[in-house]
Amino acid sequence: MVENLRFRDATLAKRVVEKIHNLASKEGTVKICHVCGTHEWTITHFGLRSLLPTNVEVIAGPGCPVCIVPASEIDEAIQLASKGMVITCFGDVLRVPGSKMSLLDAKAEGADVRVIYGVSDAVKMAEKEPNKEFVFFAIGFETTAPSTAVEVIKQPPENLSFLVSHRLIPPAMKLLVDMTDLSLNGFIAPGHVSTIIGVKPYEIFPKRYHMPTVVAGFEPLDVLFGVYMILKQLSEGKPCLENEYMRAVRWEGNVKAQELMRKVFEVVNGNWRGLGTIPSSTFKLRRKYENHDAHLKYGVKVEDGVDIQPGCKCHLVIIGKIKPTECPLFMKTCTPQKPVGACMVSIEGTCRIWAKA
Amino acid sequence: MCLAIPAKVVNIKGDGAQVDFGEGVLREVNVTLVDAKVGDYVLIHAGYAIQVLGEEEALETLRLWNEILEAAR
């Protein structure tokens, strides 16, 4: 397919970088924020920051869904495991620190914690072992939530419940623009979240906040053109909403997935690790499906968790206020082998990406 | 987590489909969320197809990129 043919063309990259330098020379400091771990991976892996002019900074916002799961929800999953439930989860979440331990620590102590590729694996396991109670720890942004909705609506086995920990990206972006000391000048909106929600939910950013916003894909050229499009909007003084990733993102998004999510979930306020409560930023199962809601089914009470361990600066890294290298623990006591903060755990965590670069 | 990989739909049976991630790496995925047909390229995330990739749009992107680069050279 064309995907691999010219989306990494070095000549095109050189030329767009020239254009970026030309536009940036007429601007002061420009701070562009992306909110996707995969964008951070592309930027770091391909060394894109080194190609940008010194006055153009690209920072990583809270785009790693694993990093923002609050410790209290990890604690709840661990407590459920300690009561004999089988916890099924994505591999990324296994080592995320709870208040006292991670799910991996719990597994080492004998809890039945199983890594799965997708929620359908949890359904198959629950069907195969009807004598055990299974919980799917449903983390992830709008990209992942539709798959949970698919299985919830299909009447899953009675012995499977869902610990819903999905989070929504646009409310987090709103929080970032409201932090005026971050002084953002533009957003690169997340490509794969947008395949589901479409482009429309970002309209508020150029309209209300005069913030250029470009949905971009994940090839290095996608990101460079995203930066170019934001600079172009700034130079013309016309902030607007553009879709660079049109091969995967339709303006209206995936309507089928949106419909399913609406049927299965209601939107409620959510706690984000290191960021506190963000209004209307998480999903909860609707009443119709509450017999599969692990919160209600097992009624485990958890205290407020310890989101940030002493010395850890994840709460500042996650909003791009500091770089991972500015955290005193980075690659000293906090390493990919022994992470202290959540940003060092997932392959989409900013600290983890920088550690491997 | 939001990683999604393109794959080609090889066959479809109900909600399930067999997709090819390239070089013969085949896997069963769920296609409930998309209207895909055999031969389409889809984006796969955690075992579910989340969108059909548009070849026309991909070519349009390359055309636009070149247009941007050609402008005011």
Task: Report domain extents, chain A.
Answer: 2-65+183-243, 71-168+253-298, 314-356
* Strands B5-13 and B41-45, bridge-based pairing: antiparallel
**Interface test mutation site (partner B, options A11, A20, A168, A195, max chain B beta carbons within 10 A):** A195
Tell me, what's the ipTM? 0.93
Length of chain A: 357
Top-confidence residue, A310 or B1: A310
Dihedral, CA atoms, A123, A349, A164, A89, nearest 10 degrees? 30
Between chain A and chain B, the number of residue pairs with CB atoms below 8 A apart is: 130
For B46, left (φ over 0), alpha (ψ -120 to 50), or beta?
left
A2-65+183-243: what CATH class? Answer: alpha beta
Cβ contact (<8 Å) for B30 and A118?
A: yes
In chain A, the percentage of residues whose pLDDT exceeds 70 is 99
User: CB of A61 within 8 Å of any CB in chain B?
Assistant: no
Residues of B with a Cβ under 8 Å from any A Cβ are 1-4, 6, 8, 30, 32-35, 41, 43, 45-48, 50-51, 53-55, 57-62, 65-66, 68-69
User: Is the model's pLDDT at A53 over the cut of 90?
Assistant: yes
Please tell me the least confidently modeled range out of A79-88, B44-53, B57-66.
B57-66
pLDDT classification of A348: cutoffs 50, 70, 90: confident
User: Is the model's pLDDT at A357 over the cut of 90?
Assistant: no
What's the average model confidence in pLDDT over B13-28?
Answer: 92
pLDDT classification of A5: cutoffs 50, 70, 90: low
Distance from CA of B53 to the nearest CA of A (A): 5
Q: Which two tokens stand for residue A274?
A: 């290191």
pLDDT classification of A299: cutoffs 50, 70, 90: confident
Q: What is the pLDDT of residues A69-123, one digit of tens each?
A: 999 999 999 999 999 999 999 998 999 999 999 999 999 999 999 999 999 999 9
Q: Is the dihedral of CA A76, A82, A84, A89 positive or negative?
A: positive
**Interface test mutation site (partner A, options B44, B56, B61, max chain A beta carbons within 10 A):** B61
CA A284 to chain CA centroid, Å, is 18
User: CB of A346 within 8 Å of any CB in chain B?
Assistant: yes
Q: Which of A6, A121, A193 sits opposite B2 (nearest CB)?
A: A193
Distance from CA of B13 to the nearest CA of A (A): 16
A139 contact residues in B (CB cutoff 8 A):
1
Please tell me the least confidently modeled range out of A86-95, A116-125, A281-290, A341-350.
A341-350
Q: What is the pLDDT of residues A180-195, one digit of tens each?
A: 899 999 999 999 999 9
Kind plus residue range of the DSSP H or E element containing A59: strand A56-60
Cβ contact (<8 Å) for B6 and A38?
A: no
Q: Which of B8, B51, B55 sits opposite A2 (nearest CB)?
A: B55
Contact A254, A196 (CB under 8 A): yes
Please report the pLDDT score of residue B73 as a whole number: 55
Cβ contact (<8 Å) for A147 and B41?
A: no
Q: Judged by CB atoms within 8 Å, which residues 205-224 of A form the interface with B? A: 221
What's the mean per-residue pLDDT of chain A? 94
A225 contact residues in B (CB cutoff 8 A):
65, 68
CATH 3.30.390.10 assigned to A71-168+253-298: no
Q: Which of B33, B47, B68 sits opposite A117 (nearest CB)?
A: B47
Question: Which of A33, A35, A346, A67 is CA-nearest to residue A169?
Answer: A35
pLDDT classification of A2: cutoffs 50, 70, 90: very low
Q: How many CB atoms lie within 10 A of CB A337?
A: 8
Question: Which of A4, A57, A59, A13 is CA-nearest to residue A36?
Answer: A59
Q: Is A30 helix (H, G, I), strand (E, B) or coil?
A: strand
Residue A296, CA distances (Å) to A141, A153, A163, A291, A292 in order: 22, 18, 10, 8, 8
Q: Which two tokens stand for residue A225?
A: 């053109």
Please report the pLDDT score of residue B25 as a whole number: 87
Q: Is A34 helix (H, G, I), strand (E, B) or coil?
A: strand
pLDDT classification of A1: cutoffs 50, 70, 90: very low
Q: Which of A146, A248, A256 sits opposite B43 (nearest CB)?
A: A248
Whole-angstrom distance, CA of residue A126 vs CA of residue A158: 9
What's the average model confidence in pLDDT over A320-341?
Answer: 93
pLDDT classification of A236: cutoffs 50, 70, 90: very high
Q: Is the dihedral of CA A104, A105, A108, A110 positive or negative?
A: negative
Same fold, A2-65+183-243 and A71-168+253-298: yes
Whole-angstrom distance, CA of residue A268 vs CA of residue A76: 19
User: Is the model's pLDDT at A3 over the cut of 80?
Assistant: no
Top-confidence residue, A300 or A211: A211
Cβ contact (<8 Å) for B34 and A254?
A: yes
Q: Which of B48, B53, B55 sits opposite A147 (nearest CB)?
A: B48
Q: Is A279 helix (H, G, I), strand (E, B) or coil?
A: strand
Answer whether 0.90 is exceeded by the pTM. Answer: yes
